[in-house]
Structure formats: structure tokens, C-alpha cells
Structure 1
């Protein structure tokens, strides 16, 4: 087994990253986030990332809707053709969502790119086309179905005529053949003109024309008819799967109620809303953009965002997130983010691009399919030439070679394997786990070491003041020192202190990473932090042995007292850790800046043996790297996505908790858990394993059945009917098997 560190990398001085094992990289750009001093694992300079690989994130000038494509193989041909165009820098087709991303050379307008691209697309896939921004996809007609039914009728009428008359079979079957196969023959000749020879249309045309040559007229028509039947049902299955996947994240509100100056409501497109616009959200309506409640109260259903069924009560000054559902009262809100920056937009963008990051299995199948078909065609030629030279009977060997050609189409692989991974991603999203690509889903299956930050991951991160020792003004001084911070510990002190903070008394505020805060209060030095801060400032103090985060307070060079802050372990943490071990995770690791006594107590409670406590900011990545250095396994890091960005990026799989509303979480990690439930990790691992299992089933089934039928047809044991099943039938079975993943989330 090869080393699995798909984005194991080191930071260069300029902040970029180097790639180790594959083309997948994590390129960081710096974004400063407030880091707190008490949790020593925090970092003062956090990084977020944009992901990029050989297929990777899409950085293109234009995005178009694409209609008329029936399979992933067709999408690949369109993509290859566009990338060869002299006016296109790069192009990417997202078959699952029916989208095309094009970066043109020079300063071509969107309309020019659209027009010129459609000319090229029509050359390789007649009927497929890009749509303009305002252009709607043509409504699906029943023409294909009606033509299919008529071709079946003509075929069976031909069989009856052949059995009851003396008319030569050629004249009986040529009309049903042309009717059933005209679009296949047309596409094959059009593709040949543009150098696209080895596709399913060419193979079916040559195979059936060969059948006519050897007087197997009935089978030639049957192959075309049943090929069309299989393609029709395959398209229905694929289309249903695509709609099911894209429907999983049906978060967008169709309209927003913009409050007018006269207090009336005007329905507008959410994309037109601006910051500070006032909107009304009625019961039963979706929140259109991120906003803050300014009037009213209600209960919101966030299940579409985080998979949790419990409601969240919101009141004045509470934040509401786009995509959540208002279940009860009317609330009036002020817009805090425009649509493109809202949570729902970021999630939809993440889901849309998930299929662009292909798993290694997908990449292998894509490459394999490109050589598989030419090899089988070559074997078909040898099957005609060599036996004919030695034993004669040209027509018998030609018939067997035609059966070879029918079997050689790789659709079962190139359609079902990507669909399987994407259905797995869709299933994971139903439980609130947003996986950024099939590569991360496949890698998650190999994870045997999970490194977790303590605060907010294993514990709730809901701090409260538990005890105060020392002088009466201890809490007041701590509150003044923490007044500039938004960290949960600072908020807990602010909540405990009932007095008023006079900010004019403060000056020279400084955070000392891994130690605490130094600030001047009334022009006298005030220090609030851990024991190391007291030692650093050479202030004698009384050690507090209480379990919890202890803040020592010193003012004007004298020790004043200490404040003990407590955190609670999440109810699900113990079960989640146990489930991870059951799934084969051999190492669970906890990192924290807290005291060893606190860390050991929490580790013992939840079942974690590998505990690293009293860490400085830089220690977290260093310890993570010590686990990454081991071969033949993958390491996941779980954090809050805000303070843990460097570690999230450094791990093989970065998993951020509570991603709702956190930009850094969505950008820095590979998997975003939309709630704070640690049980989502083993559940997502189960989905990853089932996805890989189904993908392997499809590969084995497709190659196994095709190989068996190829061998049997070479010896004349099977005919073209079996060849049709080995092609279209197996593809349909593989697609139906992949569709099982859509509903697997109910079983985890």
C-alpha cells in the first residue's frame, strides 16, 4: 500500500505549500483571526485555503449551464474537445450538475465563448449545447420514448413477417435497423470526422453493420433496439440520481420579503439584497441570506444545514443563517451578508464543486477506459484475422469480432464509478457532513489515526466561571483584561462580571501567545493568563489546583487572585470515540493547552489514551506531524476550523466541527461537519467505506461480466444478445447499484 498523504505538505516562506505524493495540494493564503492565550494550542496567525488539484477547484471566468449530455463519458469528450480549442485556456465539465466552466484566452466576451464553444460541442456530441445566462433548457419531450416504442414495434413486426413470408430478411430488417439506429450511425460518422473513433456509437455501428454482412439481420436490429432501450433506462436512472443529489441541498429561498418604507413587503430576488436591508421572514419561509433579528422571535429548523432535527430559538440580536426554515413566528431581520457571501451560497458552491475533485479510483477508471476500448477493438481485429488465416470461415470469426465490439464500450465504469462517489458525498451531506470531493471520501476510508483539539471538539466549548480565589477585585480586573477578546473564555468572564467596563482606563493592550494578556489599567500593568505568564513576569503567586482553566491575575506587580473556568464534555464524545475504535481507528489523540490533570481527566472520561497537554501554539502542528511521518496510513485532524486552520491543512484529512456560519471552517478543511456532534465522524467514515465497497462492486461486476462474455463470444458460445447485456445491461445494473448510496445515510 502506497503512502497515503495526499496533501501532506510543508509551508514555504512565502506561505505557499509544496506537494508530496499527488497533484492534490492545499495552497494557503493568510487570514488573521483572533487567537486566545489560555488554550495554548491556539495560533495567532491562522491560515485558510483554497483547494486545487489536477481537476480541482474551478477558477474560470465563465460558467454555463450545459444540456443534452447523457453520460460521463460524453462529458469527458466535450471537455477534451474544448481544451483543444485555440481560444480556450482551460475548460471543465461538471456532468453531475450540468455545468461548464471556461477560461478563455484573451478578452473574449461571454457570448463569443458561448457561440464558438457550441460549434465545437456539436462536433463531438450533437444535441448537447451550452446555455446563455437567461436561456432556459428546452423542456424534455417524449420524442425519444416514442421513437423507442416505434422501433420495438417495427422490430417485432419484422420478426413476424420473416416467419410468415418468403421476403428476403435484408429487406425486412433494413428499415427497422435504420429507424432504430440512425442517430447512432449519424453520431459515429460525425465523430470520425473529428478524430473521435473509439466511442460507443462507432462500436455499435461497426458491430451491427458487420452483423448485416454475415446475414445476422435480426440480431443487428436487436442490438440497436436493445442498446437504445438500455440507454433510455440508463439515462433515466442517471438523471434521477443527479436530481436526487442536487436536491439534497435544496436550501435556496425563492424570494425575500423586503420591508418598504411604508412597512409593506415587496418580494425580491435574494441575490439583489444589500447589507443593512430589512427583510421579513414569515412562518414556513426559508431564510434567504444571513441576517440578524431586529424584531420578533421564532424557532428555526436548521436540519437542511446541519442534519439535526432539533429547533433553534432565535430572539432579538440573534443571528439567522441562510437556508434555515422559519417554523413559527414572524421575524424582522437586518441583512448582514449579501447572497454570494451567505452560508447557503458557500455550501451550495462547495457541493457543486465536490464532483470536480476525483478520487484516485475515479482517476484510474478514467485513464483505464481510454485504453480499454482500443485494446478490445484491436483484439476484435485479431479475432477476425488470425483464425481466418489458420482455419478459414471468415464470416464466423467476423460475427464473433462484432460481438467483441458490442462488449467493448466502457460506459459501465465511466458512468457508475463517479456516480457512486458523488452519491456517497450526497448521502454524507444528508447527515450534515459536507465532503469537498471524492478524493477525501476515499481517503477517509484509510484513516487510522484521528487527532482532535479538545475545546469545542470533545468538549462543548461553553465556558463558565466556576470559582474565584483571592482579592475581591479579581473578577473585575480579569474582566477588564479580557474585554477586547471574543474568545469563549473571555465571554464567560464578561457574563460573570455584572459591572460596567470603562474602556478609557485601558491602554497598551497586548496578547502573548501561549501565555495570556498584558494591558495597562489606569497606567499600571495588568497581567491575566496562565502560570507561565506569572513565571515570565517573575510574579510570585499561589497555585490553584482546581480542575479547569485557571487564569491568574496580577496588577501593578502584585498577585491578586485566580479565576477557574470550566468546560463540559459533550454527551456524544464518549460514544463517538468508541465508534471510531470499532471502525479500526487505532490511535485517537487529544491536543490541548490545558493542564495535564484536566486533559488526563477528560481523556479518561471519553476513552482517549494519547493526550498532549500544556501545548504552545506551534506545538499542535509539530505533534500532528509526528503522526503524519508514519507510513501506510492516513491521519485526520478535527478542530473548530477557526483556531486550527494550520493543523487542518497539514493533516491528510482536515475535518472542521460546527461549520455553520464559519467561513474559515468551510475554506480550510476537507470535510465540514455542519454541527458540533462528534458522532458525525464515525457516521461519515461508514458512508465512505460503503461508497468504496459499492464502487469496487461496480468495477468487479463490469470487468468480470465483460471479461466472461468476451471469452465466451471468442469461442462462439454466446451471441450478440449477451454482448448487449454485457454492455448496456451491466451499465444499468451498475448505475442502480450506485443509487443505493443515496439512501445509505438512513442506516448509519
Structure 2
């Protein structure tokens, strides 16, 4: 039975603890293989049996989500979802209406409530606008005024004012707690805070009960603002999706349409300052484009006619016309957004630990609170008031908010920040693994070198001329897609006087993996490849000692000459290696199928620690296995290649990184991390981001657990009070969220 993925947006899902509960229940459904709910993006990704009825899946997601966090709204989102409604389009392009049968978004009938008392596990609110802020501040002022009046008066009037103050400040908490109890949700923060403060009221601590509820509400208010600020910051970080496309119609008119409605071959107009909405080729005009949102490169790129441009780039200076080469769903910007969003589906080990921790933490603390409140008075005759107060304070610290909110936020912020630097990380697990990198292995061609080859020396043998040698080599390589083969064909066309290749003269063609090619041409066999091919065929040849890739050519088992193919080292490669060493990477290795002479030359220029040359693809995997033996227990191995020819090694490494993956489906599919440019310096950037993110995660875990542990111990000893307990809950959460936001910012 096959598997398929379903994506749902749970609008109004603001509570990280709720997200964990929804995720847990979704994973218990019989047809679900895995489910991940991301409170940062308010998305749920389900991997389900492909023959499961979609209505059943949707109804289950809706039922579970609305039961756990009342007032949310669920949408199923397809990959090619059309997000623009009522787009007016002229000419032969159809219009889109939100009521159309083509609308691919299914929506529940659950509506938003126009209030802020939604039945959340936390008192998180859907509206964080100015109206909400004014309402909350007004509530705080009235509540404080009533409490002050209660302090200044006596007897029943004082009690009445205290009760009124308490209800004004915390009435919504009591209401939500009551509704949750009816639904069977007891151990949520609203219920625990209600019990703690009502208990304080019952033992006569009126000002403290009001003060704790006020502090809690103010803390929740600032926590919500901080979380939403971080969500908005991440959204802005990922805001590379174009809003519209200026479609050029057959009559020459321009119509503003949704990017999804533009087809391959259509012409669009991109004005200065606009985002390029789809991938294409410039057919008119020249300009400068800003690709920083995709690649992290700050210097604008000059484009002219026939230049390729990518969706998400910004046109800076002049109007250009672009012929579309990919539909929006297949465009670069679409792939980037999908990749980053799907990254939440792959949780880091630390996130998985927090998920398990949160599941047991609250029940354990609640049980301890009950034991603390009643065991000493019952077993040892201690004062009930004293221990009841301590137990109530324990309840306030019983929610793991700081961890369940800040840890996913840190990883998602790190992934978002990396994407703005031109590094696409496919999951929090890979980001965490990157932070532990000890050994970095590079492929040579196209990674540390330019990968743009040219024939730099032609050495015919015997009575063969240079033209004849180039002709034999070009015919032999004409069907190969390898960059070296293409460079031979291009060189033949440039330097030969009769550079016309008649493919009909080739009777047969055979590639010999890792060695070369063999063709039957006219009435003879032609061989072109490395020295291994010559030795396998037992052909006597003249070995070349030139620095470069050597292609030997033979006709009917007779050696006829050799070609030297050169590839330039990238200008940034030496600095890339130096930066990795500065980061403390223990070993940097270069693997290549190229000859030993050129491999050692490149290794010397860029200062790698070790080089292993003349390797077949399967031999690269064997070499990686050997290198693994030198890793520490926690160390990780990174391999950087082109994402296509090195797929086996990318799969074997702890983290496979594909270079120059922009626009390459194969690279994105094969690797764990995609570097959007051809700059090897981005490897050190990705490790820096990963280490910074991991440092923030560790800081938040250590800080949150330490403060909670200290407050719990001090509370049990009677040294602290409810005020400190509220800080350990809400205050620590705010600090952890603000700290998590630093993961989005990368200092170069």
C-alpha cells in the first residue's frame, strides 16, 4: 500500500502545547504513518495510506483540532493551491472565483469567534491588533484599581472589591477552564492557574491571588506579542512569494494575474522594483536583478536577452520581458517555500526529547503538588495552610511552555535564516547534525573547481593531425552528458575547419562506467577515456604528465593521441577551506575520479588535509566508510557534491550537501542540504548557523529547566512564593522566545 502526504492549515493554532496534543492524537489514527503539527506555521503534515478517503482524513483533523483548541479553522491545502481569489484576467485566461469548483482549498464551517475567550489550552488569542491591546490594558487598569480600592477598605466591601478585581482580570481564565473540564481536558494551564489562585483566595491571600493572576495575564499578553513577533519575522524572512504576474496578451495588452495562471511559453512583463514571479528567459531588455532572497548574494546580477532568471528575484533597474520556462508549481520560489515548510516534518532529536518531556512533565508536577499540599499535614501534622500554599505554588510551574514554544521556534528560525543566506536545510534533524560536523568531504569537479572545462592541449600521435584527433574524440563523446565530453565537442566545433558531426555515421555507442566510451564509427572502433580504459583494452599509449584531465583516444586498438582538459579552481575555494579550519573542523578531505596529478595539485592550492583520487563512484562510498572510523561518537560527517553524480555518497554521509542546487530537482531530491549558489564558502556559513541555533536551543533548555527546578525546590522549602512561580512559568517563556528569535539573524 502506497503512502501520500496531506497538508492542512490550522488557522488560529497559537499554542505550542496544543500543537503537541493534536500531533499526538493524529499519530494514533490507524491510517496515519506519521503526523507533524507545527505551531510556528500553524500547519499539519500527515503521511497517510493513499487509498484513505480524503473526507475521513479531513473530518478527523478538524474534529481533533477543534476539540483541543476551540475556535480554530482547518483548511486542506494542495500543492498547487490557488491562493488569489477573484483575479480578473483578460483575453483567453480564465478568471478564478472563490466559489469555483476549481478551487482546491476545502474549508470547514467552523468560524472564528469575534472575541478573545476562545477555548484554548492557553489563553492565547487570535487577534493581536491595537483593539486587542487596548482591551487588555483597559482590563488590567480596571482590575488594579479595584484591587487597590480593596486594600484601602475593610470587611465585606474589601472582599467584594477583591472578588470583582479577580473576575475582571482572570474571568476569562476561569471560563475557559470550566469549558475545558466539560470536554475532559483537566491538566491545562487555565485549569491549574484557576485552582492555584482560587486556592489562594480560599486561604485568605486575596491580594496575592489577584496579583498572581494579574502577573500571569500580563505575562501571557507579552508572551503572545513576542511569539507573534517571531512568527511575523519568520514570515517576512520567507516572504519571497510573488503576488502577481503581468501577463502580456496576444493583442499586446498587459493583465495582472495570479502566477499560478501563467503557462509555459507565456510572456510576462517585470517592472523595476517588482519580484520576478516565475522562472524564465529574458527575451527583451536588460537590467540588474537582486537574488539575495534566494542565494544570500548581496551584489545584483546583470541580465540581458537570453539570460535565465528565477522566481523570487527582484528586478532592480529596467523593464524586462520574460518567457516562462516553468509553471509556478515547479518554479524555484515554489520549491524553496515547499522545502522550508516541509522541514518541520523532520524534527531534530532535541525537539523529539522536548515532545516526550512535555508529555510527562505536567502530570508529574501536579502529582507532586498534591503530595506536597496534603502529605505533610496528614502524615506529620504540619500546618495545612502552609503546605496547601506551597502546593498551589507548585501548580503554577506545571506547564512546560518555555520549551514547547521556544525550541521549535529556534529550529524553524534557524532554517528560515539559513534560507536567506542561500542555504536550504531540509529539517531540524539536519541542522542539529550540521552543528556537530567533524569531517568535511568535498567532491572536486564543480564543487571546488568551476566545472567549466576546455581543451587546453591536443597531442596527436603518429600520422594523425590535430583535426583528425579532435574529430575522433568529438564523435566518441557526442552522446555523453558529462561536462568533459561536452567541452570536447564544443572545442571541436570551434577549432576544426569541418566541424559537422553526422550522427548517422555512428553505428553503436557504449559508455564504460568510470573509464570512458566506445563507438563503432564508419568501419572502425573508436575509444576515448582515461588510462584505465587503455590498460583494460591492453592498448599501448603514451602517458601524459600534464596537469589536467587526460583523455586518451584509440582507433581499432591503436593509440592516436591525447587531450588535456583543464578546469579552473574557484576563487573562493581556498578561503572556504580556511574558514572550515577556523571553525575547528578536524579533517577536510577531497575525493575525485580525476587523475592523481591534478587532484594533488588542487589539494595543494586550496590546502585540504587529505586527497584520494582516481576513484570510481562505488569506491567513493568505500572511502567514506573508512573515514567514518576516525569520527568521535558524537561527530558527524558531511559530504559536498553536485547532487547528481554523487547520489550514493550523499546518501551515505550524515549530511549530504548539494552545491549549486538552484533550479536542480535532482540536487534537491538527493541531498539533505542544498547550497543555492556555487560558492563553497557557504559550507562554513551553514555550519555557523547550525551551531548558533543549537547553542540557542541548549541555552533555552538549560535556562528553562534550571529556573523551574530552582523555583520548585525553593517553593517546597517555603522560601519563595507564587510570584516567583509565575515568573518561572510565563517570565521564563518570554525570555526563551526572545532568545529563540536570535536564530533568525546570522552575523557574517
**1:296 touches 1:316 (CA, 8 Å); kept in 2?**
yes
Single out whichever of 470-479 and 544-553 deviates more from structure 2.
470-479
Contact 2:4 2:50 in 1 (8 A): no
Judging changes above 3 Å, is the alpha-carbon distance between structure 1 residues 243 and 661 closer, same or farther for their aligned structure 2 residues?
same
Task: Output one character per residue of 1:241-288: Cα deviation in whole Å (capped at 9) or x when no partner.
Answer: 122223223222211222222232222211122222333333333222
Structure 1 regions of 5+ residues with no counterpart? Answer: 1-26, 28-57
Structure 1 partner of 2:149: 161
The residue matched to 1:455 in structure 2 has which SS? coil
Greater relative CO (CA pairs within 8 A, separation 6+):
1
Distance in structure 2 (CA, Å) of the matches to 1:253 and 1:460: 32
**Which runs of structure 2 are paired with 1:694-709 in the superposition (5 Å)?**
694-709=696-711
Report what 1:452 is aligned to. 442
Take 2:390 and 2:127, find their aligned partners in 1: how far apart are those partners?
41
Aligned counterparts of 1:369 and 1:253: Cα–Cα separation in 2: 39
CA gap of 1:66–1:543, structure 2 versus 1, over 3 A, is same
- State how far apart, in whole Å, the 2-side matches of 1:578 and 1:144 are: 52
Q: 1:186 to 1:118 in 2, by over 3 A?
A: farther
Shift of 1:628: 2.7
Match of residue 140, structure 2, among 152, 157, 164: 152
Change (3 A) 1:107 1:322: same
Distance change (3 Å), C-alpha of 1:738 and 1:720: same
User: What secondary structure sits across from 1:238 in the alignment?
Assistant: helix
* In 1, Cα distance between equivalents of 2:612 and 2:23: 49
- Map residues 31-46 of structure 1 onto 2, 5 A cutoff: none
Q: CA deviation at 1:584?
A: 2.1
1:103-502 aligned at under 5 Å gives the runs 114=58, 117-131=61-75, 133=105, 141-142=129-130, 144-168=132-156, 169-389=158-378, 390-470=380-460, 471-472=465-466, 473-497=468-492, 498=494, 499-502=499-502
Give, in whole Å, the separation in 2 of the partners of 1:139 and 1:699.
Answer: 29
CA, structure 1 residues 494+300, in 2 after alignment: closer, same or farther (shift >3 Å)?
A: farther
- Give deviations 1:286-316, integer Å, cap 9, x for gaps: 2222223344443332221111123333344
Shift of 1:106: 9.3
Matched, 1:95 2:39: yes
- State the Cα distance separating 1:726 from its structure 2 match: 0.9
Residue 615 of structure 1: how far off its partner (Å): 0.9
List gaps (5 residues or longer) in structure 2. Answer: 77-104, 113-125
Instruction: Give the SS at the match of 2:272.
Output: coil
- CA RMSD across the alignment: 2.5
Residues in 1 aligned to 2:555 and 2:287: alpha-carbon distance in whole angstroms: 45
Cα distance in structure 2, aligned partners of 1:247 and 1:477: 56
State the secondary structure of the residue aligned to 2:570.
Answer: coil
CA separation of 1:159/1:194 partners in 2, compared to 1, >3 Å: closer, same or farther? Answer: closer
Could you say if the C-alpha distance between residues 85 and 440 of structure 1 is closer, same or farther in structure 2, counting changes exceeding 3 Å? closer
Q: Quick check: 2:640–2:659 contact (8 Å CA) kept in 1?
A: yes
Which residue is equivalent to 1:15?
none
2:101 — aligned with what? none
Q: Decide whether aligned partners of structure 1 residues 178 and 83 sit closer, same or farther in structure 2, where only a CA change above 3 A counts.
A: farther
1:108 to partner: Cα distance: 7.9
Cα deviation, 1:52-86, whole Å, max 9, x if unaligned, reads xxxxxx9433x332222223112112333444568
TM-score by length of 2: 0.87
Tell which deviates more after alignment, 520-529 or 611-620: 520-529
Contact 1:515 1:533 in 2 (8 A): yes
3-state secondary structure, aligned to 2:500: coil
Q: CA deviation at 1:93?
A: 1.8
Paired with 2:176 and 2:489, the residues of 1 have a C-alpha distance of 71
Q: CA deviation at 1:545?
A: 0.9
Counterpart of 2:119?
none
In structure 1, distance between residues paired with 2:523 and 2:284: 42
Structure 1 length-normalised TM: 0.87
Report if aligned partners of 1:151, 1:176 keep a CA contact under 8 Å in 2: no
Output the CA distance in 2 between the equivalents of 1:328 and 1:525.
55
Q: Does the aligned pair in 1 maintain the 2:393–2:721 contact within 8 Å?
A: yes
8 A contact 1:148–1:225 mirrored in 2: no
The equivalences for 1:721-740 within 5 A come to 721-740=723-742
- Residues 189, 391 of structure 1: CA spacing in aligned structure 2 closer, same or farther, 3 A cutoff? same
State the shift of 1:537 in Å.
2.5
Secondary structure of residue in 2 paired with 1:250:
coil
Structure 2 CA distance for partners of 1:502 and 1:286, relative to 1, 3 Å: farther
Contact 1:151–1:225 (8 Å) recurs in 2: no
Deviation sequence 1:67-123 (CA, Å, 0-9, x none):
222231121123334445689776432222122335678988767755664444332
- Aligned equivalents of 2:367, 2:199: Cα separation in 1: 16
| Alpha-carbon distance in structure 2 between the residues aligned to 1:479 and 1:305 | 37
Shift of 1:502: 2.3
Deviation sequence 1:18-57 (CA, Å, 0-9, x none): xxxxxxxxx9xxxxxxxxxxxxxxxxxxxxxxxxxxxxxx
Q: Please say if residues 147 and 165 of structure 2, whose CA atoms lie closer than 8 Å, have aligned partners that are also in contact.
A: no
Q: What is the number of equivalent residue pairs in this alignment? A: 689
Contact 1:148 1:180 in 2 (8 A): no
The 3 A distance-change label for structure 1 pair 451 and 548 is: same
Supply the distance in 2 between the matched residues of 1:157 and 1:221 (Cα, whole angstroms). Answer: 12
**Residue in 2 that maps onto 1:78:** 22
Q: Is contact 2:617-2:646 (8 Å) kept?
A: no
C-alpha deviation, 1:210, in angstroms: 1.0
User: Distance between the aligned counterparts of 1:360 and 1:519, measured in 2?
Assistant: 52
Partner of 2:92: none
| 1:123–1:190 CA contact under 8 A, matched in 2 | no
- Asked if the contact 2:128–2:225 (Cα under 8 Å) also holds between the matched residues in 1, the reply is no
Mapping for residues 535-546 of structure 1, pairs under 5 Å: 535-546=535-546
How much has 1:190 moved relative to structure 2? 3.1
- Give secondary structure in 1 for the equivalent of 2:277: coil
Distance apart, 1:481 and its partner CA: 2.1
Aligned equivalents of 1:447 and 1:562: distance in 2? 41
Q: For residue 602 of structure 1, report the CA deviation from its aligned partner.
A: 1.1
Tell me how far apart the structure 2 counterparts of residues 299 and 518 of structure 1 sit (CA, whole Å): 46
CA distance, structure 1, for counterparts of residue 317 and residue 395 of structure 2:
62
The match for 1:637 is 639
Distance 2:592 2:657 in 1: 17
CA–CA separation in structure 1 for the residues paired with 2:318 and 2:265: 22
